[in-house]
Amino acid sequence: GKIPSDYLVISNALPQNKKIFISHSNSKRDKIIVTKLNNFLIKIGFDPYIAERNPQLDQHLWEKIRKEIVECENAIVLYSKDGIKSGDIREEVGIAVGLNKKDKILVIVEDGLSPLGSMLGQEYIKLNFKNMDDAIVSASNYIVRISRDLGNDSKNHNLDN
């Protein structure tokens, strides 16, 4: 099913170019939802970053990934049956948690799995691959909501102080 266009109305209310780091496995199945999520986030005014993993670039890639996580406003973790096996996802979540961004991580959890480790207690959205648009819209709405909160929150979630 197509994502309803009325969700696009929210883009006007958003600050421009909010960077979002998307952590995912490299499985074909996960790439389908990551691509859809990426395109939808761009459509509503965000600036998602997806690391393209290439073993030859490993060292430089991790420096770049760390820089992207430092600069991102939020992170979305795709915790799927393939994602469980991904050391990269654990590493990326570890970097984000180490940067005190634990409350900025949204986890999309495939049905039948429970998020573990440093992801416990995080906000999460259930994902059924047969109806992935539901998870994409829910994740996007959540990100929009917390972005708005950041804008008018008295205790401003500024990581610098």
Output the pLDDT for position 16: 52
List residues bridging with 78 in a β-sheet: 108
> 125-160 pLDDT, tens per residue?
999 999 999 999 999 998 888 877 655 433 333 333
Q: What is the mean pLDDT of the chain?
A: 80
* Choice between 159 and 99, residue whose per-residue pLDDT is larger: 99
- Is residue 83's pLDDT more than 90? yes
Output the pLDDT for position 157: 36
Residue 94's closest CA among 83, 86, 102, 84?
Answer: 102
Structure tokens of 31?
A: 């790439």
> 9-31 pLDDT, tens per residue?
555 555 555 899 999 999 999 99
DSSP state, residue 84: G
Using 50, 70 and 90 to split pLDDT, how confident is the model at 104?
Answer: confident
* Choice between 7 and 92, residue whose per-residue pLDDT is larger: 92
Cα separations (Å) of 146 from 31, 52, 94?
A: 25, 27, 21
The residue-averaged pLDDT of 66-85 equals 92
The residue-averaged pLDDT of 77-94 equals 92
Output the pLDDT for position 3: 54
Q: Of 4-13, 48-57, 94-103, where does the model show the most confidence?
A: 94-103
Output the pLDDT for position 158: 35
Output the pLDDT for position 159: 37
